[in-house]
Amino acid sequence: MKSTTISARQAGMICTMSVLANKIFLLPSLIYEGAKSDGLFVVLMLFIVDLFVLATFFMLKAKYPNNTLDYILEKHLGRFFSKLIYIVLMFFFLFKVLLTYSVVYAYLKGQVYQDEFALLALISVIPVVNHAVVAGLRSFSRTVELYFYAISAGILVCLAVALVNNQGMPYFFNTSVPDFFGTAFKHIFTFGDYIFLFLIIDKVRMEKKEGKELLKFAGIGIFFVLSIFFLFYSIYQITAFMHNNALTDILSASNQATSVGRLDVIAMVTIMFLSYFQLSIFAFGFSEAFCNVFHKLNRGYSVAVFDVIFIVVYVILVGRYENMLLYTRNWLPYLALVTNYLIPLMIFFMALPRKKGAKYEKNY
């Protein structure tokens, strides 16, 4: 039988890709609106929660090295609650796709295509995302592995140019506590990406010390996001809320950019790669959850259902990307409370080591 597993290194790279994209375009300016430069600490705080999810993943993997999440949930919570969790995760990933797509679309429409191109964007995105899901986790993780260093180099170039151009430091500690936590709550849905790892827990090979690889790459992703936030707030200071795309704008403020032509093409291409990868990861999350809810339907069905729901919800419910941002701030945090906190907490208790003397199950 053909192996479908991926290495811890590949899983780590997927982690990096899952935290980029929608956090480095529009989010920095949105968070600045609520928490000023202390938005950086908001992000840091939310990432710490994400790291708790990652730690839970390691614990669960140690306890159930080869078991699926479906099996673990059913064992502890029973069939009904297991299905319920998968349904919640299905919607979580669907809205994640919608949010990422809306943010990317807004960026491309405003800064790249400078025109309405809704149909073109759908034509570009849907086949690639569908194919990534159908091709399977193994081929997708290999693709991420192939482009990982090129994408990282793109982000590093943006960071390096921004660092050279940086004239000062952001003004910290000028936000009230309610504003700080209020902003954190509003944007909580943008985080919690590592929950994807639980869905593929049986497919990640974790040999001795390989967990470090996963942690290393997850750390790289968090480092990139925090660096971009920091440089973005440093460069634009109090006008940060007016700039809609952090990765591009930290480049375009540079003197170097104008002397060698438009350097923001690097950011543009990086964003496009990141968007495809992040959308594929979330779509894959949807598909995994779907296949676990409807055992008898294969991945092809999940993709078809995803396409229909995605297009219908996007056209009818979202319509404009501003609407999606509104939902993200007003409604989706409640869903995120369940997916980012409640479910990981439940899994944490499931992952707690057994009492001494308890028998370990054989892995299959």
Partner 1 sequence: MSFLKVETKIQEIKKAFHSSSDFASRVLSNEEDRLGFIYLKSITDNQLFAETIYKPIALTKKKLTIKTLQEEILKPNDVMEIEESEIIDNIIKGSIVIILEGEKKFVAVDLLKYPTRTPSEPPTSPVIMGPREGFTEDFKTNISLMRRRLASKDLVMKQLKIGSYSNTKVIITYLYGIADEKIVKKVEQRLKEIDIDGIIDSYYLVGFLQENENSMFRQVGMAEKPDIVASKLLEGKIGIIVDNSPIVLTVPFILFEDLQNSNDYYTNHHYSSFIRAIRLIGIVMAIISSGLYLALQLYHYNVLPLNFLITIADTTQGLPFTPFIEIVFIFFLFQILYEVSLRLPSYLGLATSVVGALILGDTGVKAGLISPPGVIIVAVSKIALYLVPQQSSQVTLLQVIFIVLGGSLGMLGVVGGLVYFTNYLNKIDSYGSPYLAPYSPRITNDLQDGIFKENIADIHLRPESFHNKNKVRLR
Q: Which residues contact partner 1 by CB under 8 A?
A: 2, 7, 9-10, 108, 112-113, 120-121, 123-125, 127-128, 131-132, 135-136, 138-140, 142-143, 145-147, 260-262, 264-265, 268-269, 272-273, 276-277, 280
Min separation Cβ 10 and partner 1, Å: 7
Min separation Cβ 29 and partner 1, Å: 22
To the nearest 10°, report the CA torsion of 274, 276, 277, 283: 140
Min separation Cβ 81 and partner 1, Å: 34
When the beta carbons of 9 and 83 are compared against partner 1, the nearer one is 9
When the beta carbons of 21 and 72 are compared against partner 1, the nearer one is 21
Amino acid at 249: D
When the beta carbons of 26 and 43 are compared against partner 1, the nearer one is 26
261 by DSSP, 3-state: which?
strand
Tokens representing 181? Answer: 């936590």
Min separation Cβ 195 and partner 1, Å: 23
Residue 45: which residues within 8 A CB-CB, separation 6 or more?
Answer: 184
- Going by C-alpha positions, the residue among 20, 14, 75 that lies closest to residue 285 is 14
When the beta carbons of 188 and 204 are compared against partner 1, the nearer one is 204
Q: Which residue has the tokens 């710490």?
A: 48
Amino acid at 252: S
Min separation Cβ 231 and partner 1, Å: 21
Cβ count within 10 A of residue 262: 12
Angle (CA) 267 327 331, round 5°? 130
When the beta carbons of 123 and 342 are compared against partner 1, the nearer one is 123
- Going by C-alpha positions, the residue among 315, 312, 39, 66 that lies closest to residue 182 is 39
When the beta carbons of 119 and 316 are compared against partner 1, the nearer one is 119
When the beta carbons of 138 and 299 are compared against partner 1, the nearer one is 138
Min separation Cβ 343 and partner 1, Å: 29
When the beta carbons of 273 and 306 are compared against partner 1, the nearer one is 273
How far from 195 is each of 37, 180, 200, 294, 299, CA to CA, in Å? 28, 24, 9, 20, 20
Min separation Cβ 216 and partner 1, Å: 14
Helices then strands, each counted (H, E), the chain? 16, 2
Q: Which residue has the tokens 């149909």?
A: 119
Cβ count within 10 A of residue 184: 21
- Going by C-alpha positions, the residue among 19, 22, 40, 44 that lies closest to residue 237 is 40
Beta bridge partners of 261: 259
Min separation Cβ 25 and partner 1, Å: 14
